[in-house]
Amino acid sequence: MELYFLGTGAGMPSKQRNVTSIALNLLDERGTYWLFDCGEGTQQQILNSPVKLGRTEMLFISHLHGDHLYGLPGLLSSRSYLGGDTPLTLYGPPGLKRFVETALEVSGAHLTYSLNIVEIDQEGVIFEDPSFIVETARLEHRIECFGFRIIEKDQPGKLMHDKLAALGIPAGPVYGQLKQGLTVQLEDGRTLHGADYLGAPIPGRIVVILGDTRYCQGAEYLARGADVLVHEATFAMDKQELAYSFDHATSHDAAKIARDAGAGALILTHISSRYQGDAVTELLQEAQQLHANSYVAKDFWNFEIPRKAFLNEM
């Protein structure tokens, strides 16, 4: 599991940063990518990245401002041209369905895959399957805006092969059944309970990706205990009043959320074009004063999210 940043700028593209889009690489977990926001030019950014549009399974739109949305019609059409034929689900605020259907109808686009659009009308769980849960909450922005909490469910612990071998049980189908936590009746009459032969569960990872927001309780709620928090940092601290008036956050605001919520790594994105080159260091230093494990994202940068079990062994 890793985050890949396709666009990290705010408002409009600059020479250093395209507008917002983030890919969550789940190739190892489910063979797919999930995308978060789709600003203008996202499909061009994908062409210069390892992200495979045809293997994108879901796309989450935090809000309907252009720098998070205007790349969507082109991306949907290109997915067909690139051979994408598996279903794609879009999640986003009310109005997303009308925007997409109008753009496709007016342009005469024809999709070669099934497109499902889910408009988010309340907070809470919007997706769940045996492996993942996605929870959303409202943020404070000029229009309806959501953040997303991606929860990987805990995985069964490692099967105790040595313990089974000591009982004279050879590797085979029984091992697979026990790995699933099932109870197995052996031919010799012995009964084995899967839970007795599994190590401690492997904790799942939690990734939180927020849309545009100023400091708010919704952001802190979603960020609680996250392994990684991706938070906008449009401005530095000296622009606090400006940030608040436009419903945006400073690097200090983002770091305070990460600290108070007990998040692991903090990644700052949605950077104003006024911060070019070394000026970005100011944002990072301000965040690190409150939350040492902070980073500033840049286009085509990836951040790997190891499992907690691996972290504990390091």
Q: Is 252 annotated as a binding residue?
A: no
278 is annotated as an active-site residue: no
Q: Is 141 annotated as a binding residue?
A: yes
Q: Give the C-alpha separation, 3 to 26, whole Å.
A: 9
Q: Give the C-alpha separation, 171 to 116, whole Å.
A: 43
Candidate list 37, 67, 253, 299, residue with the active-site label:
67
Q: Give the C-alpha separation, 68 to 212, whole Å.
A: 9
Cα distance from N-terminal residue to C-terminal residue, the chain: 18
Q: Is 212 annotated as a binding residue?
A: yes
Q: Are 234 and 272 in contact (CB under 8 A)?
A: yes
189 is written with which tokens?
Answer: 């009459």
Q: Is 67 annotated as a binding residue?
A: yes
Tally of CB atoms within 10 A around 185: 10
Q: Is 270 annotated as a binding residue?
A: yes
Among 295, 289, 286, smallest CA distance to 266 is for 295
Q: Is 248 annotated as a binding residue?
A: no
- The torsion angles phi and psi of 285, rounded to 5 degrees, stand at -65, -40
Q: Is 63 annotated as a binding residue?
A: yes
- β-sheet bridge partners, residue 294: 266
* Strand bridging mode 228-232 / 265-269: parallel
Point out the annotated binding site: 63, 65, 67-68, 141, 212, 270
Point out the annotated binding site for Zn(2+): 63, 65, 67-68, 141, 212, 270
Residues noted as catalytic: 67
